[in-house]
Structure 1
């Protein structure tokens, strides 16, 4: 049985693990490591430390399917809709740039529920707070080191973290990259932004009617959402949550500052936009250094093979595009490579 390590418990990693399990079943032992304390990556759902009934999506907010992807990825959408993970976005949205044939979906249990669904289906051994620091060639295997704890050996390694983190790995990755591959990876550009979640008492009812508002006349804030309204869920008994995303220029300007120093700036701008906003009982701020891919790897079919045997491959939205379907495309492309590498009939003689 081949041991496969998938680094990153975000959308690409979870879909890849799920597809690998369904294709190879008990022929592969799948392990997923993530440096965070929970799954989701940029599709994370957060809770305040002292009010466990609250939750808010600090990363991705909803899923948009174009007509082409709604058809080519129909099995994925059907699976998530039938299981109740996805529901159509029905709430009032102000300022959305919407194409008539696009379909928008929300997650009643938060965006992380999409990732958790695929991880559950994968049957993978899932480990959090496993921060990979180095990948070393060890004969026909890979020895993978992490920040704390012993290294482990795997037959194949899949890297789904942001490209700059791949390039920072110690070991053989840098030596194995060709000049062209290095140039392609160096050219990847991400946007950066801050996100703030405000959690309110159970008796709070907002006076404005919308669930989501795109802000166009503010240099700091570009997006505001009432999470329960957006998800079409009932906040009674726990109180509503409000999510604020900053603009890309603001994120870039303040990227190297601590989030604790940036949070008051965001809250001041929010008070100008929503002067009657009640006092929250808890606030959480997140800095997304790697928010969305602005410039992806050119001429890559959703992945990049660093070494064929033993297989070391990287994928994610940097090798396609930054949305749900881009991550699915990357996972599908990596699945083909993994199947060819891990099954006797798929390997070249």
Structure 2
């Protein structure tokens, strides 16, 4: 990327809209600011506006509850539990937060877990592996939401508008007087005119936003298949005895369990993570994506009851060691089905209208894909602007 590629004919600062303040949106805003900051024309500063339908940033979700007696917390990373950094560019990107310890490697002890069965088979836990720094898994501390908030706080030329839902682009006619796109919220109020519109929503939502808009890559949005995931969050009081599987005087010490022959996929022990040792006993459980997708429209209380029964078999508790805290969350678009040896879709761009559809689902569906799609987006904007 050369400096002169960032100049416009009128030498005007570009107005850029980003739909979604998840990690793809935050990475995109960050890399856009850096690209323009490195340009020879320092006066050419982008005016970036991020529109987010919820009240927070990032997809690294954290939920917590406080014990009224002790003021200690239970805490669950109920979205992505960790992320990897396999490419040198992403490793360089996260380096400052590693240095500050906001991001830390998680060298977890991983086991295979065979649940107790109704037929009398006892709980079985076998050591599987230990994650190490050679192929590190990273977490954000003290909460998984901390990194997203840090990214947002460091943006200098970006405004984030929370609780703002964007109307489908075709819902309101566009002015023919210029090449800018006017965005509207769901109430029909104008949100301004933009040189670029970058949509980072899940593909089902991107499909709705771009429907009948003339977006040239519309058909490709449906190519990646997304699956749901249910998350069960459990907590124990310090005064409670822990279940059999969590009692490390009787069982091997472990942090992550791959669960066999169950609707549960993995179990994560939150209070074993780096900088989490002051938490009350907290466990996050992810159901399998296939099962979650099958029951994605089921009543959440019904789903919670089924997951609780599976968790009871996996962790082997009785009435004295049952969890005191129970919560359940449904992620409708949690995982991207990827085919082996098939090239990732990459960002989808309408060159004429200067619209881009992006997101982790355009890659491998992980957090590093958020960064890679942000890179592709910024390269496309800088080559055209």
TM-score bracket for this pair, using the shorter chain length = 0.7 to 0.9
Specify the alignment match of 2:297 in structure 1: 256
Matched, 1:150 2:162: no
Aligned equivalent of 2:93: 76
Distance in 2 between residues matched to 1:114 and 1:19, nearest whole Å: 16
In structure 2, C-alpha distance between the alignment counterparts of 1:17 and 1:53, rounded to whole Å: 33
Cα deviation, residue 267, structure 1: 0.6
Q: 1:200 aligns with which of 236, 244, 256?
A: 236
> Going by fraction, where is helix more abundant, 1 or 2?
1
Matches within 5 A, 1:1-349: 1-25=13-37, 27-41=45-59, 43-48=60-65, 53-66=73-86, 69=87, 71-95=88-112, 101-123=134-156, 124-136=158-170, 137-138=174-175, 139-148=178-187, 150-153=189-192, 154-169=194-209, 173-178=211-216, 181-204=217-240, 206-208=246-248, 209-218=253-262, 220-235=263-278, 238-276=279-317, 278-295=321-338, 302-309=346-353, 311-342=354-385
CA distance in 1, matches of 2:169, 2:66: 35
Cα 1:82–1:229, aligned 2, differ >3 Å: closer, same or farther? same
Pairwise CA distance, 1:168 = 1.0
Deviations 1:186-240 (A, max 9, x none): 222012110111233344564142121111221x1011111121345212xx512
Q: What TM-score, normalized by structure 1, do the two folds share? A: 0.84
In the aligned structure 1, how far is the partner of 2:16 from the partner of 2:75?
Answer: 33
Q: Aligned equivalents of 2:20 and 2:238: distance in 1?
A: 35
Contact 1:12 1:160 in 2 (8 A): yes
Residues 1:203 and 1:149: Cα distance change in structure 2 (over 3 Å):
farther
CA distance, structure 2, for counterparts of residue 155 and residue 177 of structure 1: 15
Residue aligning to 1:345: none
Over aligned residues, Cα RMSD in angstroms? 2.7
How far has the Cα of 1:265 moved from its partner? 0.7
Equivalent pairs counted in the alignment come to: 329
Counterparts of 1:196 and 1:148, CA distance in 2: 35
Structure of larger gyration radius? 2
Superimposed CA distance per residue, residues 74-121 of structure 1 (whole angstroms, 9 cap, x where no aligned partner): 311312201212111123222467898522222222222222222222
TM-score (norm 2): 0.77
The separation in 1 between residues aligned to 2:302 and 2:81, in whole angstroms, is 24
Q: Check conservation: 1:198, 1:284, Cα contact below 8 A.
A: yes
Partner of 2:6: none
**Gapped runs of 5+ residues in structure 1?**
343-349
Q: Does the 8 Å CA contact 1:15/1:115 hold for their aligned counterparts?
A: no
